Homo-oligomer: A and B are copies of this chain.
Amino acid sequence: MKPMKEKNSHCIDDVPYKHYDWARVVGQNCENIVGYVPVPVGIAGPIPIDGVEYPIPMATTEGALLASTHRGARAISMCGGCHSVVLAEGMTRAPVVGVPTLAEAGALAKFVKEQFPLIKAAFESTTRFGKLLELKPCVVGRKVFLRFRAFTGDAMGMNMVTKGVDKALSVIQEHFPKMEVLALSGNYCTDKKPSAINWIEGRGKSVVCEATVTADVVERVLKTSVDRLVQLNIDKNYIGSAMAGSLGGFNAQAANVVAAVFLATGQDPAQVVESSTCLTSMTKTETGDLIISVTMPSIEVGTVGGGTGLQAQHAMLEMIGCAGANQAQPGANSQLLSRVVAAGVLSAELSLMSGLVAGHLLSAHMKLNRKQH
């Protein structure tokens, strides 16, 4: 076998590595490093969210995405902005354990419900911010999956929860000495995989964001009509997705915005998988205007840890006003970030759906994307 290195080691020269503070990265964010990949970043908006204006930073190489999101944000801004609610929050981790009998599995499931305070105390002994909110058991024969859900302050929280779970398991084990921890993650969490449990139970922040866009703005700015938007939303985002067998994909392009904001702000791009699940609804008001909303039950974001400490990513969080841990109100920064994500998705949904109705999907992409071919 011809060794790989000789073939193409020269290309490495095209990968930038200078002018970068590697001290922050090495041993924390990456290994076997050869440099960095620059991803262009732009700002859509600003968009008023619950009365305050925020920018939507997006890092992407997909032409037209930023312009489209910006157009949607502008239309929404012209009508007073959007409103949001964070319905619930909590990062999850679900170890799988084994016990010697089905009866003991049943007893374990009962125990973790009845002795929740005991387990909560053990979990919280490992963390300053983490608060155990819920423990959902799932028995399969002699195996038990234990889905822990915890408030994790401004961190996305996977590591915090994993640490708390580890401790909680050791306390449970005192009462079930024959219990064996098979793995700290049994996929019932579920992390970075499409699954109904996150759609139904939530993971990270569960956010709904909506705006009312006047018929006038729909026509002048978005070049379409409320009726056509509402109808296409039914045909595409409800029926089309239903026929495709989608779980949580009842939207036009939520993932585009989630991925772009995640990259811009140092989030984990693998978590786009579940963070982008979204149902987009559109309704016509009695006065003929459009209400558009996005329901996103599992936006997994943090403003400390992971890639959020890197200079450019941190700058983007600062621009939003949510960098680092919120000392006054732990969790408020990551909540704000989740609302910016949702507002960005709302904007992009509005814009793309308008474009689809008007039939200029193709032309926009062609114009922006195809120069190099």
Q: Report 5 cross-chain contacts, Cβ distance below 8 Å, ordered by A residue.
A: A28-B372, A31-B64, A37-B263, A61-B266, A102-B210
A96: chain B residues at CB < 8 Å are 235-236, 240
Given A4-B54, A187-B236, decide whether A29 and B60 contact each other with a Cβ distance below 8 A.
Answer: yes
A193: chain B residues at CB < 8 Å are 241, 244, 246, 248-251, 254-255, 276
Binary interface encoding of chain A residues 38-74 relative to chain B, with 1 for a CB under 8 A from any of its CBs, else 0: 1111111110100111110001111111110010000
Partner among B52, B264, B369 whose Cβ is within 8 Å of the Cβ of A37: B264
Partner among B195, B258, B319 whose Cβ is within 8 Å of the Cβ of A12: B319
Whether B272 and A186, one on each chain, are in contact in the complex, defined by CB atoms closer than 8 angstroms, is no
Within 8 A of B (CB), among A219-256: 231-232, 234-256
Whether A183 and B141, one on each chain, are in contact in the complex, defined by CB atoms closer than 8 angstroms, is no
Given A61-B307, A240-B187, A318-B8, decide whether A246 and B312 contact each other with a Cβ distance below 8 A.
Answer: no
Known contacts A193-B254, A197-B245; can you find 17 more A-B pairs with CB under 8 A? A8-B320, A15-B41, A25-B40, A34-B43, A35-B41, A96-B240, A140-B239, A140-B279, A141-B283, A162-B365, A163-B366, A183-B357, A195-B245, A196-B196, A239-B281, A255-B270, A306-B369
Task: Determine whether A289 belongs to the interface, using a CB cutoff of 8 Å to chain B.
Answer: no
Task: Determine whether A311 belongs to the interface, using a CB cutoff of 8 Å to chain B.
Answer: yes
Task: Determine whether A106 belongs to the interface, using a CB cutoff of 8 Å to chain B.
Answer: yes
Partner among B32, B45, B143 whose Cβ is within 8 Å of the Cβ of A66: B32
Total copies of this chain within the assembly? 4
Partner among B31, B61, B262 whose Cβ is within 8 Å of the Cβ of A70: B31
Binary interface encoding of chain A residues 311-343 relative to chain B, with 1 for a CB under 8 A from any of its CBs, else 0: 111111011110000000000000000000000
A1 to chain B, nearest CB (A): 6
Whether A245 and B199, one on each chain, are in contact in the complex, defined by CB atoms closer than 8 angstroms, is yes
A46: chain B residues at CB < 8 Å are 4-5
Within 8 A of B (CB), among A343-373: 356-357, 359, 361-362, 365-366, 368-373
Task: Determine whether A79 belongs to the interface, using a CB cutoff of 8 Å to chain B.
Answer: no
A interface residues, tally (CB under 8 Å): 178
A362: chain B residues at CB < 8 Å are 162-163, 166, 184
A181: chain B residues at CB < 8 Å are 359
- Residue of B with least CB distance to A59: B37
A310: chain B residues at CB < 8 Å are 38, 61
